[in-house]
Structure 1
Amino acid sequence: MEWLAAASEDPGACKQEWQNGSTGVALLAAGRFWDVLIVPEALGLRVADLLEELPLLDRGPCLLDTRRRTVGFLLPPEPQTVWIGTGVRLLGAGTWIATPAPHCRWGALRWLVPPDGTGTLNMPEVLEMALQRCASELSRTQGHPAPAACATGGRVRP
């Protein structure tokens, strides 16, 4: 809880909201300790499953928002990186994300992979390959263009 709350302007108030607040959700700043790659729900769920299947991989935090139908993957902050794809957004410096308590695994906003407290994040290169593979799979099985177009390379460093 300490590691995640450190991204808050007021870590004490953040932890208080998670433990006893009316919503159990706190706003945390992206771009300092981590960025968040937001992808469409169908793609994100498949990617999360694929990452779970990879041996010897320490998975980073992954957040499901069923109301917005998105999945967010926490990764190292890389201010010069641009992710390209349909429905793909990168939240970095100057943006905020609503987060439930790290132990929250239920509800409309919940952790698919909770933060482990050590600072483990998703590896961008692994996430990029998983997004490309799963986007291609979804394209084949659903019979229409992939929800995330990774053909341009996914991540681009200007």
Structure 2
Amino acid sequence: MGVTSSAVTSPGNASSEAVRDRTEPAVSDSEHGGVPLPRPPRSAHTPRPRQRPDAPLEHAVSYAGELGWDVFPGTWLEVPAGVPVCSCGDARCAAPGAHPAGPGWAGEATHSPGAVRRLWSKERRAAVLLPTGRAFDVLDVPETAGCLALARLERLVPQPGPVISSPDGRMYFLALPGTAAKVSDLLRGWGWSPGGLDLSVRGEGAWVAAPPTRLGARGAVRWASGPGSAGRALPDAETLVPALAYACGRAATEQATARTEREPTRGRTAGARHRSGR
């Protein structure tokens, strides 16, 4: 996939729990010198605790009131016969319970806590969605590359910024507004082909699902690196892009190598079957 356009410490009150880091315990990656890497999201088959009904509203109010981020409600999950389906009614919905409910979402987004409460009073299960291109832009990479990049960034800079981990295998790095417009030129300047990396951007007119939004049966969106003290100190493009480009390139190389190593094995197996007459 090519490049496409598509915090402060929380106060010590009950709502601050909504924006704290919900990262799983770190795991060690021996290939990277024992640097702890964020644990990937649980599989869709791992039992999960039931989400509290008011959790989306509490998080939305915290994002708006404490971090100053615009938020808006999206679709939600219905569970007829025990199977989660999207409220949009599309049986083939690609993001069940985690996308805008209608075309007017951009005008609906707000950072007023009172307005947020009114919006979620219509449906308290609604997904918590954040418009990009306002308080921040987003750099979107595969989970494998995202974990590697986050580990590198944590060694290089005091605060790598907020990072969202989605159960569909993607990670979203929040960056200063305007970052999306710089990515292609920065990649070319460092010798990378923008179309050759699985790195995309989300700026004005796009959005991202925020915790505790649930993506169908796959599980909940989580913070790999919570807003915390980095919410108002977002990293710039010059900080994020080199680490993400390197990580995406390395992940792609490792995947290609793994495929190449599997090919001879399949070839030998097929040859043995041919010789044995099977």
Same fold, TM exceeding 0.5?
Answer: yes
Percent of aligned positions that are identical = 29
1:77 matched residue in structure 2: 177
Does the alignment pair 1:130 with 2:243? yes
1:100 shift after superposition? 1.4
Distance 2:198 2:249 in 1: 15
* C-alpha spacing 1:36/1:14, structure 2 compared with 1 (3 Å): farther
How many aligned positions are there?
A: 135
1:91 to 174, 186, 202: 202
Once the two structures are overlaid, the 10-residue window that deviates more, 124-133 or 74-83, is 74-83
Query: Residue 63 of structure 1 contacts residue 110 of structure 1 at CA under 8 Å; is this kept in 2?
Result: yes
1:148 aligned residue: none
Q: What CA distance in whole angstroms lies between the structure 2 residues aligned with 1:121 and 1:130?
A: 15
Query: C-alpha distance in 2, partners of 1:30/1:38?
Result: 12
Instruction: Tell me which protein shows more strand as a share of its residues.
Output: 1
The amino acid across from 1:40 in the alignment is: P
Query: Does the 8 Å CA contact 2:197/2:248 hold for their aligned counterparts?
Result: no
Question: Counterparts of 2:247 and 2:150 in 1: how far apart (Å)?
Answer: 10
Higher helix proportion: 2
Q: What's the C-alpha RMSD, in Å, of the aligned pairs?
A: 2.9
2:234 is the alignment partner of 1:121: yes
Structure 2 CA distance for partners of 1:86 and 1:58, relative to 1, 3 Å: same
Tell me what 1:58 maps to: 159
2:142 is matched with which residue? 40
Are the aligned partners of 2:136 and 2:174 in contact in 1 as well (CA < 8 Å)?
Answer: yes
TM-score, structure 2 as length reference: 0.42
CA gap 1:14/1:41 in 2 versus in 1, 3 angstroms: farther
Separation in structure 1 between the aligned mates of residue 151 and residue 117 of structure 2, nearest angstrom: 29
- Return the index of the structure with the highest Cα Rg: 2
Give the equivalent residue in structure 1 for 2:125.
Answer: 22
Distance 1:32 1:57 in 2: 24
- CA separation in 2, counterparts of 1:15 and 1:36? 26
Q: Is the 8 A contact 2:137 2:174 kept in 1?
A: yes
SS at match of 2:228: coil
| Worse overlay, 108-117 or 75-84 | 75-84
Q: What is the deviation of 1:15? A: 6.8
| CA distance in structure 2 between the aligned counterparts of 1:121 and 1:81, rounded to whole angstroms | 15
Q: Given that residues 35 and 90 in structure 1 are in contact (C-alpha distance below 8 angstroms), is that contact kept between their aligned partners in structure 2?
A: yes
Q: Are residue 110 (structure 1) and residue 219 (structure 2) matched?
A: no
Contact map agreement 2:183 2:237 (CA 8 A) in 1: no
For residues 112 and 69 of structure 1, do their structure 2 counterparts lie closer, same or farther at Cα, with a shift above 3 Å needed? same
Shift in Å, 1:139: 4.4
Deviations 1:14-65 (A, max 9, x none): 4786xxx435x411111011101111111111111211222x5222100000
* Cα deviation digits, residues 80-126 of structure 1 (max 9, x gap): 3244253322111111111115xxxxx53101111126412123112
Q: Taking structure 1 as reference, are residues 58 and 141 closer, same or farther at Cα in structure 2, changes over 3 Å only?
A: same
Shift of the 72–15 alpha-carbon distance from structure 1 to 2, 3 Å rule, reads farther
In structure 2, stretches of 5+ residues that fail to align are 1-61, 72-108, 185-193, 213-218, 260-278
